[in-house]
């Protein structure tokens, strides 16, 4: 089963990469762009046919390795 884990910095955590992208977009003439946040998407192919079990496995992976829960939030999506 294919899943995606999206990892983003928590609200209130400084995102210097997002700030740099926001400034670069403004310099390129893109107006009206508010706050820019950068994250990562991790796609997994798990050997499990049950979507609920596969999601639980992916959540465990995120908690143990894929996301730093102190500063990041994550979301698991079945593809």
- pLDDT confidence band for 15 (50 / 70 / 90): very high
Q: Are 39 and 75 in contact (CB under 8 A)?
A: no
**47 CA to centre of own chain:** 22
- pLDDT confidence band for 71 (50 / 70 / 90): very high
The CATH number of residue 16's host domain is: 3.30.1280.10
Average pLDDT along the chain: 97
- pLDDT confidence band for 44 (50 / 70 / 90): very high
CB contact set of 41 (below 8 Å; sequence gap of 6+): 4, 5, 6, 7
How much is the pLDDT for 41? 98
State the total domains in the chain: 1
For residue 31, give both structure tokens: 């107006």
Average pLDDT, integer, range 16-34: 95
Which pTM does this prediction carry?
0.88
- Domain that includes residue 50, residue range: 2-78
Q: Are 72 and 10 in contact (CB under 8 A)?
A: yes
């Amino acid at each position: 089963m294919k899943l995606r884990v999206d990892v983003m910095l928590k609200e209130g955590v400084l995102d210097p990469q997002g700030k740099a992208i926001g400034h670069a977009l403004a310099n390129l003439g893109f107006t009206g762009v508010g706050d820019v946040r950068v994250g990562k998407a991790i796609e997994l192919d798990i050997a499990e046919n049950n979507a609920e079990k596969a999601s639980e496995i992916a959540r465990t992976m995120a908690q143990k390795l894929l996301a730093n829960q102190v500063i990041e939030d994550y979301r698991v999506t079945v593809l």
